[in-house]
């Protein structure tokens, strides 16, 4: 089911404070028969045209972000589904299974409704999947204390490194650096992806800080740790040092299901948007010229909330267009109303 004003054609424009503060919900989708169904993951494709989501009712849903329409639903009733990630082939994705004796990863052609391959090797629930931004490979982490690298063409892992449980993986925009972060240990380690060799430095994150998503900015300046228990954290992507806290976050109450993060960079890396427990969306500027002495403060406070009747448990910015999506029981696409 969709509502709200028609989706406008997406346009390229410069991200400014005025434009960012003008975002409003353009389209809203919910399950017609079961509108309270929880959405657990979402991802945009490379072109920013399509959005894919997984839900606790074992369905994988596709949306056209340009027309603002639902583009189909695929059932995964036998194995369940979570952590969907688009590959580089049109409307194909990988996802983790949530049912069955083995914790496999599926490869789906959404347009055909065809499951192309299953990847086996993890012995416990998969907690994170990240597609290489440059190649047809991906990395996964699981509760079996391993991180594995896969080639889409082969069912068995190409490499395995030990990790701690509750691990999350992320890659830099070049697809050369892998971040493996452990919430249990409170650390983030960095690897040369091609050889899976570790950099000398391991980052210790603040005591008590919990996160469920790590994202590199497209300009490769920052690494964002999306928190589940308060303020988000920003690291320098070159020095691996703490840059700032993104303050003012109200914790979003748990739904009892996992999800893939409430904070996301704009494509230019100049702003961060985040869902907030007050039912709104927060916005922070990372532009030094917006602050005293042209330096980012240690504690960055939000510019202003973007209001709507949402539970923005997840938030993800479109990689190519001026649009972002929030999700919980509804998928909501946001567009700016200023600057056009």
| CATH number assigned to the domain comprising residue 242 | 2.130.10.10
- State the CB neighbour count (10 A cutoff) for residue 34: 11
Residue 8 lies in a domain: no
Q: What's the whole-number average pLDDT of the chain?
A: 93
Q: What pLDDT score does 12 carry?
A: 57
Residue 205 lies in a domain: yes
CB distance 103 to 141 below 8 Å: no
Range of the domain at 41: 17-336
Average pLDDT for residues 2-21, to the nearest whole number? Answer: 65
Residue 198 lies in a domain: yes
Weakest mean pLDDT among 1-15, 49-63, 159-173: 1-15
Q: Is the pLDDT of residue 11 over 70?
A: no
List pLDDT tens digits, range 190-241.
Answer: 999 999 999 988 999 999 999 999 999 999 999 999 999 999 999 999 999 9
Q: What pLDDT score does 184 carry?
A: 86
Q: Is the pLDDT of residue 291 over 60?
A: yes
Residue 4 lies in a domain: no
Q: What pLDDT score does 7 carry?
A: 45
- State the CB neighbour count (10 A cutoff) for residue 206: 12
Q: What pLDDT score does 339 carry?
A: 64
Q: What percentage of the chain carries pLDDT values higher than 90?
A: 86
Domain count for the chain: 1
List pLDDT tens digits, range 127-164.
Answer: 999 999 999 999 999 999 999 999 999 999 999 999 98
**Residue 240 DSSP SS3:** coil
Q: In the chain, count H helices and then E strands.
A: 1, 30
Residue 248 lies in a domain: yes
- State the CB neighbour count (10 A cutoff) for residue 322: 23
Give the C-alpha separation, 329 to 35, whole Å: 7
**Residue 101 DSSP SS3:** coil
Residue 2 lies in a domain: no
Length of the chain: 340
Q: What pLDDT score does 1 carry?
A: 37
* Model confidence band, residue 107 (pLDDT cutoffs 50, 70, 90): very high
Average pLDDT for residues 37-55, to the nearest whole number? Answer: 97
Residue 6 lies in a domain: no
Residue 5 lies in a domain: no
Weakest mean pLDDT among 5-9, 74-78, 108-112, 286-290: 5-9
């Amino acid at each position: 089911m969709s509502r709200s004003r028609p989706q406008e054609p997406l346009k390229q424009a410069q991200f400014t404070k005025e434009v960012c503060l003008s975002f409003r919900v353009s389209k809203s989708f919910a399950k017609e028969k079961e509108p309270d169904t929880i959405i657990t993951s979402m991802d945009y494709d490379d072109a920013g045209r399509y959005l894919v989501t997984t839900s606790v009712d074992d369905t994988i849903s596709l949306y056209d972000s340009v027309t603002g329409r639902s583009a189909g639903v695929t059932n995964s009733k036998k194995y369940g589904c979570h952590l969907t990630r688009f590959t580089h082939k049109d409307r194909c994705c990988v996802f983790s299974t949530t049912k069955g004796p083995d914790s496999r990863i599926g490869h789906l052609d959404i347009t055909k409704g065809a499951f192309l391959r299953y990847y086996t090797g993890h012995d416990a629930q998969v907690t994170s999947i990240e597609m290489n931004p440059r190649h047809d490979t991906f990395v996964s982490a699981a509760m079996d204390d391993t991180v594995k690298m896969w080639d889409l063409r082969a069912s068995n892992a190409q490499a395995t490194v030990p990790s701690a449980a509750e691990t999350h993986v992320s890659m830099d925009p070049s697809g050369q650096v892998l971040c493996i972060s452990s919430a249990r240990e409170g650390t983030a380690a960095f690897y040369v992806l091609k050889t899976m060799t570790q950099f000398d430095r391991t980052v210790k994150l603040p005591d008590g800080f919990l996160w469920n998503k790590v994202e590199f900015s497209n300009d490769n300046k920052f690494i964002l740790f999306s928190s589940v228990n308060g303020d988000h954290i920003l690291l320098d992507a070159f020095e691996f040092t703490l840059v700032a806290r993104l303050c003012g976050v109200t914790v979003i109450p748990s739904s009892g299901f996992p999800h893939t993060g409430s904070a996301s960079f704009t494509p230019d890396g100049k702003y961060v948007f985040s869902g907030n427990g007050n039912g709104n969306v927060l916005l922070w500027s990372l532009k030094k010229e917006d602050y005293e002495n042209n330096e980012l403060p240690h504690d960055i406070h939000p510019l202003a909330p973007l209001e709507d009747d949402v539970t923005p448990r997840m938030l993800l910015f479109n990689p190519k267009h001026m649009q972002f999506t929030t999700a919980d029981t509804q998928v909501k696409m946001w567009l700016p109303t200023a600057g056009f």
